């Protein structure tokens, strides 16, 4: 049983990993066919993964409603919003517009989901301002460098800044194109090496956390 | 040019404007303090988003990527990814949860295999090449070394890039206590990092403010008489509710800082 | 409590009000300061300008409503330019919650420019899988998207005539708000299928794409609302991005003043404590 529950999954990971890492260097039609099929499969599996991701939320709020925990009324609102959207969406054939006219599903999307999500992120504008006022202090030389660079970029990327200090546009452009690019490049190289190392650890069974806990 | 709209379309647009304005203001009310209007909008947001995702996943995956190709074109091989996908869902059945490992093993193995060569090619080799190649060309030319800082491709900038990349990599990879020349290199790396973080902060401010501009532009649009001025009416309603709530719970001061 | 201490502990809602007013007032009373065009945005514009008519232009609308204010104006400006140049537009999204926006965007701009679905453009809709979709499109576009957003089979749509995979795309732009976005389009797309790639992105991720811009892995970059405003200026059709630039200026100035004040109070407090 341990073979079926533990070793076989690790073997599957190793074989698929090595196969598709090698596939990149083999431009044979059979190898290309393999890539086409596998990525097509991933598309379909991706749909199931999406459902898996959102359904854990159902469970969490269902428990809250059943036990009538504090704020269970809001969980009810969540459920109502979800069920109405699903019903309306299925009725509209999953389309936001049909023959150029907005469907009820499209209406929910445009007038509920878009403003809700947009505003949820827009309020961060206020919090970033408040955080900047409270903690953006030149406590050390490094912090002063960070502060000066931020001010130059903030000035240089808006018309008023370029109008008041014409050089700020060019200087911020140089900061982005040269100084920022060099750091981002180093980070990109470092992160990529880390990704490659992690992928190799997964393929060779050193990293196994993706299999989850549970019984062997 | 605006499209002519029927009475029903117009009604839906006006109703939509009221709904969008109300929900926007309910979320903005959080800026005063956490309150039931915000919580209502927040939970509605999650519910609607999840519902939307489920509908799209059903329509795209089940109908267009699975059922149609299998039923209409006889692509039986697609039953394999369907089986793998279903195996994933065994996570919800404790006794059979181990079977989901096959699905995850396949996805993770495939993902890793696809990522390794492409990451090496795109982000390691190409980036290292672009750090070194400009310098080699300068050396090849022999006499030319351009000092123009404003030209991103100038020789001076190529040297600065090399210094930035190497010192930051040194700072990251050699996390021992730096002393002597190593200290100078690491400190140079820190200065480069601070400048990049400053630029990132500047751009984050820019992005966040843009989002606020977008929402306020909508609120201004919906304050128009053609929509029945929902912004004004709903703003008054939101403020009234906040005042009422503040009176009902006088002992709980908001978090001011 | 000294004045500096009191100022440093000011009610955050006063700061919120300052930011709110700095955004609102310029939107109500715009000034219209000139916008300077950066080379990275100009590169995208000039590349599209240089394309012959009926070239295949792929626009991947990889964002959700959270990034709409920044990327929606970019998409509108790019589509207006592409339709004006009479390019064949293939649009799609890798972000499920961006589907409705992308559909509305395509319908709005195509009808404004008098372009017909099927002949001048196609909206492929959304497909799950992220990077796998890009690879699959590179292998065979019709496997990745057997039908378009409307559910019509993609094979046989006139606008896709001669297009079998990403190799047949002349220019692709990903308007990305994260992953999958511009980087994924390079790693899983351009790296193997060799089409020209441009990028559009939110302000938050723009600094991270400069290494790709320097190395020529992307040929241009439209960053945030500012980038959109530059593009709107280039195509001489000003829209929401240009209208938002005054507010952007005012809020940036407000943040700079806030940071300066905070440092002023901080140093004065430190000096007082030093004396004490």
Cβ atoms of B156 and B148 within 8 Å: the answer is: yes
Digit-coded pLDDT (tens) for B17-64: 999 999 999 999 999 999 999 999 999 999 999 999 999 999 999 999
Q: Is the pLDDT of residue B141 over 70?
A: no
Average pLDDT, chain B: 89
Distance from CA of B85 to the nearest CA of A (A): 5
pLDDT at B140 over 70: no
CB under 8 Å, gap of 24 or more: what pairs does C181-184 form? C181/C62, C181/C63, C181/C94, C181/C205, C182/C209, C182/C212, C182/C218, C183/C209, C183/C212, C184/C94, C184/C130, C184/C131, C184/C134
A109 and C18: CB-CB below 8 Å?
Answer: no
Interface membership of B13 toward C (CB under 8 Å)? no
**Judging by beta carbons within 10 Å of its beta carbon (0-12, 13-18, 19+), is residue A3 exposed, middle or buried?**
exposed
- Please determine, for residue B6, whether its predicted confidence score (pLDDT) is greater than 50: no
Question: Are C99 and A96 a contacting pair at CB < 8 A?
Answer: yes
Q: Which residues in chain C are closer than 8 Å to A137, comparing Cβ atoms?
A: 262-263, 266
What is the rounded distance in angstroms from the CA atom of residue C169 to the CA atom of residue C138?
A: 10
pLDDT digits (tens, 9 = 90+) for A175-203: 999 999 999 999 999 999 999 999 999 99
C-chain residues within 8 Å CB-CB of A136? 259, 262-263
Helix (H, G, I), strand (E, B) or coil at A33: helix
A133/C130 CB distance under 8 A? no
CA distance C26 to C240: 13
- The phi, psi pair for A7, rounded to 5°, reads -75, -40
From edge to edge, which strands make up the β-sheet containing C88-93? C121-126, C88-93, C56-62, C171-176, C196-201, C221-223
Average pLDDT, chain C: 95
Instruction: For the beta carbon of residue C253, count every other beta carbon within 10 angstroms.
Output: 17
- Using alpha carbons, select from A210, A185, A207 the residue that is nearest to residue A196: A207
Write the CB contacts of A197 (distance below 8 Å, at least 6 apart in sequence): none
Q: Read off the pLDDT band of C36 (50, 70, 90).
A: very high
Contact: A174, B150; criterion CB under 8 Å: yes
What the block records as the tokens of B30 is 């959080």
Q: State the Cα–Cα distance between residues C104 and C76, nearest whole angstrom.
A: 11
Domain chopping of chain C, boundaries: 39-243
pLDDT on residue A160: 95
Model confidence pLDDT, tens digit, residues A79-131 = 999 999 999 999 999 999 988 789 999 999 999 999 999 999 999 999 999 99
Cβ contact A121–C127 (<8 Å): no
Phi and psi for A67 in degrees, rounded to 5?
A: -85, -5
Contact B207 C70 (CB under 8 A): yes
A161 in Cβ contact with A168 (< 8 Å)? yes
- Which of A25, A128, A146 is nearest residue B117 as measured by Cβ atoms? A25
pLDDT tens-digit readout, B70-123: 999 899 999 999 999 999 989 888 888 889 999 999 999 999 999 999 999 999
Residue to mutate among C10, C14, C17, C69, with most B CBs inside 10 A, is C69
> What mean pLDDT, rounded, does chain A reach?
92
Contact A128 B208 (CB under 8 A): yes
**Span C126-148, average pLDDT:** 95
Q: How far is B134 from chain C (nearest CA, A)?
A: 10
- Chain C residue with the nearest C-alpha to that of A131: C12
Contacts of B112 in chain C (CB under 8 A): none
- Which class does domain C39-243 fall in? alpha beta
User: Which of C22, C185, C191 would best serve as a mutation to test chain B binding (most B beta carbons within 10 A)?
Assistant: C191
- Does the pLDDT at position B168 exceed 50? yes
Distance from CA of B165 to the nearest CA of C (A): 11
Q: Tell me the shortest Cα–Cα distance from A180 to chain C, in angstroms.
A: 7
- Predicted pLDDT of residue C190: 96
Q: Which chains contact C through at least 3 pairs of Cβ atoms less than 8 Å apart? A: A, B
Q: Roughly how many angstroms between the first and final C-alpha of chain B, as a whole number?
A: 47
Q: What is the per-residue pLDDT across A30-88, written as a single tens digit (0 to 9) for each?
A: 999 999 999 999 999 999 988 888 877 778 888 888 888 888 999 999 999 999 999 99
Phi, psi of C216 (to 5 degrees): 80, 10
Do residue A182 and residue B164 have CB atoms under 8 angstroms apart? yes
Contacts of A157 in chain C (CB under 8 A): 226, 252
Distance from CA of B189 to the nearest CA of A (A): 8
How much is the pLDDT for B3?
43
Return the structure tokens found at C253.
Answer: 């100035």
Q: What is the pLDDT of residue B45?
A: 96
CA distance B243 to chain C (A): 16
CB contact (8 A) between residue C144 and residue A97: no
Please give the pLDDT value at position C145.
95
Percent of residues, chain C, with pLDDT higher than 70:
100
* Percent composition of chain A: helix, strand, coil (DSSP 3-state, to 5): 80, 0, 20
Chain C residues lying within 8 Å of A24, measured CB to CB: 192
Q: Do A125 and C19 touch (CB under 8 A)?
A: yes
Whether residue A112 has a cis bond before it, omega within 30° of 0: no
B180 min Cα distance to partner chain C (Å)? 30
Give chains near A: 3+ CB pairs under 8 A. B, C
Q: Give the span between the Cα atoms of A83 and C271, in whole angstroms.
A: 60
CA distance B119 to chain C (A): 7
Q: What is the DSSP string of A123-145?
A: THHHHHHHHHHHH----SHHHHH
Question: With DSSP H G I counted as helix, E B as strand and the rest as coil, what are the percentages for chain C, rounded to 5?
Answer: 60, 15, 30
Which of A32, A95, A136 is facing C262, going by the closest CB pair? A136
pLDDT digits (tens, 9 = 90+) for C149-161: 999 999 999 999 9
Which residue in the set B23, B63, B168 is minimally distant from A183, CB to CB?
Answer: B168
Across the interface, whether the CB atoms of B130 and C19 are under 8 A apart is answered: no
Name residues 43-72 of chain A within 8 A of B (Cβ).
Answer: 43-52, 54-55, 57-58, 71
Q: Does C35 touch chain B (CB under 8 A)?
A: no
B212–C23 CB contact, under 8 Å: yes
């Amino acid at each position: 049983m341990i073979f079926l529950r533990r070793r076989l999954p690790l073997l599957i990971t190793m074989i698929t990993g090595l196969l598709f890492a090698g596939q990149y260097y083999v431009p044979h039609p059979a190898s290309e066919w393999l890539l086409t099929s596998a990525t097509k499969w991933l598309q379909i599996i991706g749909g199931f993964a999406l459902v898996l991701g959102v359904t854990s939320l159902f469970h969490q709020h269902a428990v809250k409603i059943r036990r009538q925990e504090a704020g269970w009324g809001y969980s009810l609102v969540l459920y109502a919003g979800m069920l109405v959207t699903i019903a309306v969406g299925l009725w509209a054939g999953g389309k936001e517009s049909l023959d150029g006219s907005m469907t009820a599903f499209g209406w929910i999307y445009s007038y509920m989901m878009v403003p809700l999500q947009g505003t949820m992120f827009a309020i961060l504008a206020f919090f970033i301002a408040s955080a900047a006022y409270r903690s953006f202090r030149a406590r050390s030389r490094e912090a002063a460098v960070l502060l000066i660079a931020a001010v130059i970029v903030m000035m240089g990327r808006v018309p008023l800044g370029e109008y008041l200090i014409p050089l700020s546009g060019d200087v911020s452009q140089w900061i982005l194109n040269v100084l920022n690019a060099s750091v981002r490049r180093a980070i990109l190289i470092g992160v990529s090496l880390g990704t490659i190392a992690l992928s190799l650890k997964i393929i060779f069974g050193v990293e196994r956390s993706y299999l989850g806990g549970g019984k062997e | 040019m605006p499209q002519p709209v029927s009475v029903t379309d117009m009604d839906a647009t006006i109703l939509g404007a009221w709904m969008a304005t109300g929900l926007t203001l309910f979320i903005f009310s959080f800026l005063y303090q956490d309150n039931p209007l915000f919580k209502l909008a927040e939970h509605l947001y999650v519910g609607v988003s999840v519902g939307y995702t489920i509908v799209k996943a059903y329509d795209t995956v089940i109908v267009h990527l699975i059922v149609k190709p299998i039923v209409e074109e006889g692509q039986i091989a697609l039953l394999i990814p369907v089986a793998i996908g279903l195996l994933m869902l065994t996570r919800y059945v404790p006794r059979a949860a181990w079977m989901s490992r096959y699905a995850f093993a396949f996805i993770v193995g495939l993902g890793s295999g696809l990522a390794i060569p492409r990451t090496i090619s795109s982000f390691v080799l190409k980036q290292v090449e672009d750090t070194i190649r400009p310098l080699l060309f300068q050396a090849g030319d022999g006499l030319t070394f351009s000092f123009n800082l404003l030209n991103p491709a100038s020789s001076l900038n190529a040297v600065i890039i090399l210094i930035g990349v190497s010192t930051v990599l040194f700072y990251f990879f050699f996390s021992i206590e730096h002393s002597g020349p190593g200290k100078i290199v690491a400190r140079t790396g820190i200065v480069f990092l601070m400048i990049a973080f400053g630029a990132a902060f500047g751009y984050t401010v820019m992005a966040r403010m843009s989002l606020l501009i977008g929402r306020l532009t909508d609120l201004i649009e919906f304050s128009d008489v053609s929509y029945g001025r929902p912004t004004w009416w709903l703003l008054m309603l939101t403020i009234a509710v906040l005042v009422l709530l503040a009176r009902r719970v006088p002992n709980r001061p908001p978090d001011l800082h | 409590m000294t004045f500096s201490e009191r100022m440093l502990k000011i009610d955050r809602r006063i700061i919120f009000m300052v930011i709110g007013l700095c955004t609102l007032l310029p939107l109500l009373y715009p000034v219209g300061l000139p916008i300077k065009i950066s080379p990275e945005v100009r590169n995208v514009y000039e590349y599209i300008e240089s394309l012959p008519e009926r070239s295949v232009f792929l626009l991947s609308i990889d964002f959700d409503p959270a990034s709409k204010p920044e990327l929606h104006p970019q998409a509108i400006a790019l589509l207006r330019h592409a339709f004006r140049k009479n390019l064949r537009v293939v649009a799609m999204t890798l972000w499920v919650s961006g589907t409705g926006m992308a559909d509305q965007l395509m319908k709005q701009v195509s009808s404004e420019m008098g372009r017909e679905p099927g002949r001048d453009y196609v909206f492929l809709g959304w497909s799950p899988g992220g990077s796998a979709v890009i690879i699959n499109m590179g292998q065979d576009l019709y496997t990745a998207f057997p039908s378009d957003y409307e559910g019509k089979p993609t094979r046989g749509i006139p606008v896709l005539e001669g297009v079998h995979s990403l190799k047949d795309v002349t220019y692709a732009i990903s308007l990305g708000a994260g992953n999958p976005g511009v980087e994924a389009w390079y790693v899983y797309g351009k790296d193997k299928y060799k089409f020209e790639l441009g990028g559009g992105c939110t302000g938050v991720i723009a600094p991270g794409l400069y290494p790709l811009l320097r190395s020529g892995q992307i040929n241009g970059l439209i960053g945030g609302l500012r980038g959109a405003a530059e593009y709107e200026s280039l195509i001489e059709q000003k829209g929401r991005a240009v209208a938002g630039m005054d507010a952007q200026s005012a809020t940036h100035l407000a943040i700079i003043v806030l940071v300066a004040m905070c440092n002023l109070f901080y140093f004065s407090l430190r000096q007082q404590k030093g004396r004490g």
